[in-house]
């Protein structure tokens, strides 16, 4: 059994899936099943176009509503982008930063990450900072180096007193959407390494405020086992968050 220092956090990333009516219906079901939010935090990261409607439905419940991406300037000539303050305006209270699909498909460089994290915090949009290695990096024993590089670049401007507002998601890229989950040993080893890095950077009390989630082919049948790993504070769920039948059992994992 885990001895939790931090409130568990279950997050669903809907990516570019679900049309408006399906988003609204799913939020309604999740809202109906959430209790007071005292023993776990739940958030969904929805297509930005539907943020206003989805957050209106979620109103009055502890369900967090987030964007899957943001730009780091407040306004200007950035065609197609959305500022943190705009996302706040339509009801988002959180944001994903550095998801591997953004890094890989849209070539988002490390150098944007600290600016995005800085701007999201400045606008009270709570970030989940996604990091993780490719299969080639793991095979070449470069997992630690990759993770540390992503931590260094993301946390460049962050201060110890801000760590309680930050969540990290460790998502090995080879496990995302592949049905392949990292083993408990692999997850624990990387999460421990991240925590050690945070302690060195911020000191122990501040480092202990940061939640570290695992993401990569989380399903109802492996969620409890993943949450039983001491170092895992929560889960970032892609495919299994798209349907109530698979997402609710993950949200409702037995914390005992």
User: Residue 134 CB, nearest distance to ligand PEP (Å)?
Assistant: 14
Residue 199 or residue 244: which is nearer to ligand PEP going by CB? 244
Position closest to ligand PEP via CB: 238
Neighbours of 49 (CB within 10 A): 12
Q: Which two tokens stand for residue 143?
A: 């997992």
Query: In 34-142, which residue ranges form alpha helices assigned H by DSSP?
Result: 51-58, 84-89, 100-105, 110-122, 135-139
The answer to the question of residue 128 lying near ligand PEP (CB under 6 A) is no
Report how far apart, in Å, the C-alpha atoms of 45 and of each of 55, 85, 97, 137, 204 are.
Answer: 11, 16, 11, 28, 30
Contacts of 97 (CB under 8 A, 6+ apart): 69, 70, 113, 116, 117, 120, 127, 128, 129, 130, 154
User: Residue 177 CB, nearest distance to ligand PEP (Å)?
Assistant: 4
Q: Which stretch binds ligand PEP (CB under 6 A): 87-95, 131-139, 152-160, 237-245?
A: 237-245
Residue 58 or residue 213: which is nearer to ligand PEP going by CB? 213
The answer to the question of residue 216 lying near ligand PEP (CB under 6 A) is yes
Q: Which residues pair with 199 in a beta bridge?
A: none
Which of 171, 182, 233, 253 is in the footprint of ligand PEP by CB under 6 A?
Answer: 171
User: Residue 207 CB, nearest distance to ligand PEP (Å)?
Assistant: 24
Q: Give the residue among 112, 193, 200, 127 at the shortest CA–CA distance from 162.
A: 127
Residues in 13-32 at the binding interface with ligand PEP, rule: CB under 6 A: 13
User: Considering 99, 108, 123, 137, which one is annotated as catalytic?
Assistant: 99
The answer to the question of residue 238 lying near ligand PEP (CB under 6 A) is yes
The 8-class DSSP code of residue 83 comes to B
User: Considering 41, 133, 171, 231, which one is annotated as catalytic?
Assistant: 171
Catalytic residue annotation: 99, 171
Q: Give the binding site for ligand PEP (CB under 6 A).
A: 13, 171, 176-177, 215-218, 236-240
């Amino acid at each position: 059994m885990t001895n939790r220092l931090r409130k568990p956090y279950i997050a669903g990333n809907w990516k570019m899936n679900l049309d408006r009516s399906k988003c609204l219906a799913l939020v309604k079901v999740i809202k109906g099943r959430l209790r007071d939010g005292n023993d776990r935090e739940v958030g969904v990261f929805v297509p930005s176009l539907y943020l206003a409607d989805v957050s209106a439905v979620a109103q009055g419940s502890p369900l967090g509503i987030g964007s899957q991406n943001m730009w780091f300037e407040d306004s200007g000539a950035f065609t197609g982008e959305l500022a943190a303050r705009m996302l706040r305006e339509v009801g988002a209270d959180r944001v994903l930063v550095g998801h591997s699909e953004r890094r890989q498909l849209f070539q988002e460089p490390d150098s944007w990450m600290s600016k995005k994290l800085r701007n999201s915090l400045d606008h009270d949009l709570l970030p989940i900072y996604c990091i993780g290695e490719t299969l080639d990096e793991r095979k070449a024993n470069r997992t630690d180096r990759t993770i540390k590089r992503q931590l260094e670049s993301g946390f460049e401007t962050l201060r110890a007193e801000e760590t309680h507002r930050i969540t990290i998601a460790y998502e090995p890229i080879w496990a995302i959407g592949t049905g392949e989950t990292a083993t408990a040993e692999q997850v624990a080893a990387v999460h421990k390494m991240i925590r050690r890095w945070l302690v060195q950077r911020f000191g122990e009390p501040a480092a202990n405020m940061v939640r570290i989630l695992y993401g990569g082919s989380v399903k109802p049948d492996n969620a409890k086992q993943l949450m039983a790993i001491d170092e895992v504070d929560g889960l970032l769920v892609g495919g299994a968050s798209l349907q109530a039948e698979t997402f609710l059992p993950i949200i409702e994992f037995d914390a005992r």
